Amino acid sequence: MPELPEVETTRRGIAPHVEGREITEVIVRQSRLRVPVPADLVERLVGARIGVLSRRAKYLLVPFSSPGPDGMGATLLWHLGMSGSLRIARLGELPKKHDHLDLVLDDGAILRYHDPRRFGFVDWLAGTDESDPRLARLGPEPLSDAFDGERLFARSRGRRLAVKPFLMDNAVVVGVGNIYAAEALFLAGIDPRRAAGRISRERYDALAAAVREVLAAAITQGGTTLRDFVGGTGEPGYFAQRLNVYGRDGQPCRRCGAELRLVTLGQRASVFCGSCQT
């Protein structure tokens, strides 16, 4: 599933090609996504101009201004689901199977949405980021000043939940999915099975720093290619080559050489080093 670094990689990849461009045609090949494609999508988008793209958690926000004297527009809320990707194509480039939606731009570029499982969606943003129910209860961005060890420590008091699913809770901090939670806990030396409420403030400071380090490195590397993820330009991510624990159960720890262990936490597989993580 595309996580925060993959979505941010997509945003950075497609933004230079779409921002400021006018939409000349909208082609919907498959409207039955997790949320049905809005019936008025074509009517509202043709002739509109795309604004500056942003991201909130794993959502892409695509604003546009409508033609006419007032220039009033709206914002598309785009989620890639489990297998979705957005890439830039060109006129004449035939769509592949599972290419469900095209936004054709005035320079001949196409913003093309591909989603084999159809668990993603594109929908209108209801109101503002703060009022849309899909965004209203989200925690802070992990690379923002609002996220730090103090927040983790305060939110964890009295919690018997294991620290790994606690860290993956979007109400605590957004976008720290299974891959990056496992990697951050390894860097911070914290056993993912430990109760969140029994971890000290000092260790949460280390964990917050590790989350920032892991996510920043993953974004720099273009995300982690698992199965068929590609960024906005069609290039795969390379962070998988740097994974310390995720997907490496039974292999030696890169730090101490001990055999990595596999457990299930919150119905998700979690690999860790029983020697380095305590």
Q: Alpha-carbon distance 207 to 151, whole Å?
A: 11
Which residue range(s) make up the domain with 29? 4-124
Same domain, 265 and 180: yes
In total, how many domains does the chain have?
Answer: 2
| Confidence at residue 128, expressed as pLDDT on a 0 to 100 scale | 83
Residues 119, 184: one domain?
no
Is 252 marked active-site? no
153 in the same domain as 110: no
How far is residue 4 from each of residues 14, 86, 106, 170, 213, measured CA to CA in Å? 15, 14, 30, 12, 13
**Across residues 152-181, what is the average pLDDT?**
96
Q: Is the pLDDT of residue 221 over 90?
A: no
Q: pLDDT for 69-81, tens place per residue?
A: 566 689 999 999 9
Binding site annotation covers 159? yes
Mean local confidence (pLDDT), 171-183: 94
| CB of 64 closer than 8 Å to CB of 45 | yes
Looking at residue 223, its pLDDT comes to 55
Active site residue 142: no
| List 58, 87, 164, 203, catalytic entry | 58
* CA 108 to chain CA centroid, nearest Å: 28
| pLDDT tens readout for residues 236-257 | 444 555 799 999 999 999 999 9
Question: What percent of the chain is modeled with pLDDT above 90?
Answer: 82
**pLDDT (0 to 100) of residue 234:** 52
Q: Are residues 21 and 103 in contact, defined by beta-carbon separation less than 8 angstroms? A: no
Same domain, 88 and 174: no
Residue 238, sorted as left (phi over 0), alpha (psi -120 to 50) or beta, turns out to be alpha
Return the CATH number at 229.
Answer: 1.10.8.50
Any binding-site annotation on 32?
Answer: no
Sign of CA dihedral 135, 140, 146, 151: positive
Active site residue 19: no
Answer whether residue 143 is part of any domain. no
Report if residue 8 sits inside a domain.
Answer: yes
Active site residue 133: no
